Every structure is written in C-alpha cells, then in structure tokens.
Structure 1
Amino acid sequence: MKRQMMMIWFCVIALASVAPVQAENKKSGEKRYVIIHADDAGMSHSVNQATIEGMQKGIVSSASIMVPCPWFKEFAEYAKQNPDQDFGIHLTLNSEWKNYRWGPVASRHLVPSLLDEEQYLWDNVGQVMQHVNVKDAEKELRAQIERAKKFGVPLSHLDTHMGAVVSRPDLLEMYVNLGIEYQLPVLFVANLDPKKYGLIAEKSKELKAVLSKNGLPVLDELVQFYGEPDYGKRKQSYLDKLRGLKPGVTQIIIHCGIDNQELQNITHSSSRRDGDRRVFTDPEVMKEIKDLGIEVITWKQFHEMAKQKVKVAE
C-alpha cells in the first residue's frame, strides 16, 4: 500500500514580500519563476504559526488550507485579515494521522463513501481510490470551498492533499471542472509519462487543453523534498534544487511546522516541517533566490499571467 501511495504522489509531483510581475511584458519561458507553497495550513496550531511566520518573515509566497481540520478557523481568520497574501484550499479526502483525525465538512449522511468504519475520512489515498464515489467527493469538495468562502478566505487556487483528488481519472476531471466553475487555478503540471501513469496521463493531457482554454495556468514543474531531517543537509538540498530550476513556472511544495510537543504528538515529520520553516525564513536562502534571478510569485500572479496569454492569443 505504501508503494502504491508513493506512486500516486509521484504522479501529483509530475502533475503541479513578493515582487510584482509585469506579466504582459514577460514570457514565462524566458525566465525562472517559483511559487514557494506551504501545504497543510489549518492542520494544527503549530503548523498555522509556522506558515504565518514563513509568509510574514520569510519567502513563502502561497499557502493552502485544510478546511476539515480542527485549526482551520484560526488560519481562516488570518487569511481574512491579510487579503493581499495568497491562499488556496488544500482539498482533502483523507485523514492520515493515527490519533489526530477529521471527518468531512459535508454532513456524513450525504457522503457515505468518504467515511471509514470510525466515520472519519479514509486513512490513505489507496482507500480513497478504492471506495470513494466521485459524486460524494464533489459534494465534499464543494462544501470545503463554500466553507472557506463563508469564513472570508480570499481564494487564489485549489490543490490536493496527498494527491487523493487526482488519484483516478474521474476524480481528476471533477477537480479540474471545479476550478473552471469557480475560476480558480488548480495545481496541475504540464506532462505525464503515459507509460508510467496510464489513464491518468491520458486524462491529464485532455484536461491541460481545457484549463488553457479557460485561462487557467498549468505549472511547468513541481518540486518537493521529503528526505533529510538534518537542517543543514535539508537546506543544502533546497538550494541545489533552486539552482537547478528550469525556465518557466515551478512550484516548490513545503510543509511548515514548529517542532514542539503538539506537532510531535501528531506526526513523525515534525522536525522536517520545522526544517522547512527555517529554510524559507533563512536570509541566506532568500538572498540566494534573489542572486539567482528567480522571481518569486503567487498563484494570483500566475493566474494573471495565464489570462494575459489568452488575451494575446485572441
């Protein structure tokens, strides 16, 4: 099962104070842009604190919020008070931690296929693939979007927690259609190898054209680093990735946290999450990005770039 989940997430990775971008005067293919994106806001208090620190004191340019999670309201209040910053919804169909779990936003009787025997969302992506009805999933994801809007979150994009929403062709199509309906960009990367990803790759090729037609952007590359808990080695790995970025728009996915008792009780990844917070508030890293000539942008700016491209084509 772990191998299956990793393959799904590799599929997603293949699929996905900030300087303003004068999009009409630049072509993304001529330079390097990066969205530094913090996932999992709303998951816990320490994750919220770390994400806010990254956005206020560091170079984190965007974050996405897990609406079903217990600390959603705290981060939603921050987002509402900071509409100039960039916030998406981390669309969630699973609840992976052993003793810290959540259920759906929609009423449970309306989305029965989303629930395990304890009435929480399924533990892992493999179970989502096996059990979830796409109509139930759509009800739940709409409920998450509408709840975020109700709490005043200024939305810039949609993405997916652990890749669950892009784990089947029907779920992937539903996800893209929600983005078009709400006119919100979705996390989506240009090309997938059909030999590795089969039907998902075939469907993504079709949907890429649909997104472009509707003025919604498609990432050139998606980068994520799980690995090394040692801070120095983790920092060096991110610097190496930044130095090797290709022209176009890349998103770097990070998970910010504070390595305290709360986060340690939830997840074994607390030290790595703390490392991400430290890396992207590190003055040396911020200076390196500037020296490399990489422009840090938000999803709002990326969306504007895509809309300008459509206007030029017309």
Structure 2
Amino acid sequence: MKRKMTVLWSLVLSCSFLPLVQAENKKPAEKRYVIIHADDAGMSHSVNLATIEGMQKGIVSSASIMVPCPWFKEFAAYAKQNPEQDFGIHLTLNSEWKNYRWGPVASRDQVPSLLDEENYLWDNVGQVMQHVNVKDAEKELRAQIERARKFGVPLSHLDTHMGAVVSRPDLLEMYVNLGIEYQLPVLFVNNLDPKKYGVIAEKGKQLKEVLEKNGLPVLDELVQFYGEPDYEKRKQAYLEKIRELKPGVTQIIIHCGFNNQELQNITHSSSRRDGDRRVFTDPAVIKEVKDLGIEVITWKEFHEMAKQKLAQAE
C-alpha cells in the first residue's frame, strides 16, 4: 500500500488478572466489545458499495466518510436514508493517491497551508506535519463536518484519515476540542507508550481526562491489519486478532472495497480491501465472533456507555 501510515494508536491498555485459586472465587470475565469500523467511505463508488454491503450483510458496525472525496455525495445519501446505522467523519488533511486526488472542502484561499504545489491536499502525513497551520486545519475540518451535516449525515463520531489529525500535539488538541464542541466522540486510544510517541503520548494523557470529563469515550485498544493479500490467510489473521481481544472496547479498522477496475485504477490495495469486505460478511467469521461472546457495538452505543459511566461517577 502506498500509504506511509503514521499510526499513533498501536500500543494499548494492557489488562491483567489475579490468579484464580479456587473455582468458587472465580470472578466473571470483563466483557469484550468490538467496533468493526470501515474507513474511507466516500472515497470511490467501489468503496461505497462494499462498505454498504459490510454494514447490511455483515458485522461492520460503523463507518466514517471522507467528505472531500468525489464519491462523498453518494454515501451521504445512503447515510441520510439509514439513520439507524453508525456514521462518522474521516477527517481528512491529505490526499495520498498518485492520480486520484482531492482538495479541501473549505475555499482554497482560506486554507493555503493545506495545499501542495498542485493545489491538492498534501500527499502524506509527514508533509501535513511540516506544512499545515493548525488554524487552517481547523477551518477545513469544521468545513468537512458542516458539509456532512448539510447533506443530512447523522453523525456519531470523528476520526482521522491516516492519523494526520493526531500527528502533532496542536492538531491533536484541536481535534479533541472539535469533538467536545460538537459532542461527538473522537477516535482516541488509552495509554500510548511515551517511549514510542513522546510528546503525543504526554498530550494524549492530558486530553484523555478532558474527554472523559465531557462524557466522551476512549478506546482500550485499536487493531489494524494491512498485510496479507491472500484471502484465506487474511481471514485467519483477523480471526487470530479477534480471539486475542482483551476486555474492554476495541476498534478493528478495516477498508472495504470490490476488486474491480475502478478501485484497481486508484490503488494497488484493491485486493486487500476486497478481502476485508469478504471477511466481515463471511458467515464463519460472524459465527466465531458470536461464539466467543464478543459484543459488536457502534460508536453511538460506545458514547452512551461513556455518558452512563460519567453519570454514575457524579
């Protein structure tokens, strides 16, 4: 995959349990919840159709939409017609494909630091970190949220395309503040390793408390898998990750697509995206999740859990 991911969410809250000495002293295991989340809705027609299939025929419980992309309007119409489902905004500050590019939603003259020499959004996260002014970024992300609302998308959360919005402390703080202002949960993971993430981890620790005080949830774990293109191997890799899920709330990020000419013309990840669609509509995978006692939830449900927890603490 062409993407050079700046993933700021890989190490997560570890859970430990005291040894069980006697059967009668055994405590019920803490519940395992999972949000199965499809990124990149609105990116292309193929991605839209595959994401919809995953939500309707599979166990994809949530999706987020790339508002600046050419096929946003199609998916926004679907979201408006299906408000019972779960949709977020995939806040986008970069445009990573070679021949399939997009610019900002905001007027270009209002967000000059977001633009490359071809007047598109920057190609990669490193360039975003280097060039983007946080005020311009905020204007653009507000424009993306407001455009989605204008098209009638029932929003449940905010997250970030390729981690660009969480790549600097100032961008991270702005992202959290947007979530609080709009009262929308943001994709945020507990206990980042300070040795690996430095100032981002330190800033994240501060902002986690702010989110929780505002009744916005924080994930215990985030799982992403980019590797194996072979379907059966990919399926087994996902099943292994699912079996190893820890207590708490985990999000599994997937990217749905159909391996057709349109998607092949955009990205060489089309077969992997097709694999993700197939895995999470596969009856055997759906049965495995159920048999393991893992509850698939949405961001709306996760938000309600956080609000209830806050109310109980007060």
TM-score when normalising by structure 1 = 0.93
Tell me how far apart the structure 1 counterparts of residues 169 and 9 of structure 2 sit (CA, whole Å): 13
Alignment of 1:173-212 (within 5 A): 173-212=173-212
* Distance apart, 1:15 and its partner CA: 7.3
Give the structure 2 partner of residue 90 of structure 1. Answer: 90
Give the structure 2 partner of residue 162 of structure 1. Answer: 162
- Structure 1 residue runs of 4 or more that deviate by more than 6 Å after TM superposition: none
Give the structure 1 partner of residue 260 of structure 2. Answer: 260
C-alpha distance after superposition, 1:194-241 (max 9, x if no partner): 111111011000000000000000000000000000000000000000
Give the structure 1 partner of residue 232 of structure 2. Answer: 232
Say if 1:67 and 1:90, in contact at 8 Å, map to a contact too.
yes
Q: Please identify which structure carries the higher helix content.
A: 1
Tell me how far apart the structure 2 counterparts of residues 51 and 13 of structure 1 sit (CA, whole Å): 24
DSSP-derived class of the 1:218 partner: coil
Q: Is 1:123 the equivalent of 2:123?
A: yes
Percent of aligned pairs with the same amino acid: 88
Tell me how far apart the structure 1 counterparts of residues 269 and 112 of structure 2 sit (CA, whole Å): 30
Tell me how far apart the structure 1 counterparts of residues 11 and 92 of structure 2 sit (CA, whole Å): 19
Tell me how far apart the structure 2 counterparts of residues 290 and 114 of structure 1 sit (CA, whole Å): 44
Tell me how far apart the structure 2 counterparts of residues 65 and 193 of structure 1 sit (CA, whole Å): 29
Tell me how far apart the structure 2 counterparts of residues 72 and 103 of structure 1 sit (CA, whole Å): 13
Alignment of 1:46-85 (within 5 A): 46-85=46-85
DSSP-derived class of the 1:30 partner: coil
Q: Is 1:307 the equivalent of 2:304?
A: no
Say if 1:15 and 1:188, in contact at 8 Å, map to a contact too.
no
- Identify the match of residue 9 of structure 2 among 12, 17, 20: 12
Q: Which amino acid aligns with 1:250?
A: T
Tell me how far apart the structure 2 counterparts of residues 186 and 202 of structure 1 sit (CA, whole Å): 18
DSSP-derived class of the 2:9 partner: helix
Flag structure 1 segments of 5+ consecutive residues without an equivalent.
Answer: 17-28
Give the structure 2 partner of residue 23 of structure 1. Answer: none
DSSP-derived class of the 2:185 partner: coil
TM-score when normalising by structure 2 = 0.93
Q: Which amino acid aligns with 1:12?
A: W
* Distance apart, 1:13 and its partner CA: 3.6
Tell me how far apart the structure 2 counterparts of residues 254 and 240 of structure 1 sit (CA, whole Å): 15
Say if 1:15 and 1:187, in contact at 8 Å, map to a contact too.
no
The number of residue pairs the alignment matches comes to 298
Q: Which has the larger radius of gyration?
A: 2
Tell me how far apart the structure 1 counterparts of residues 143 and 10 of structure 2 sit (CA, whole Å): 26
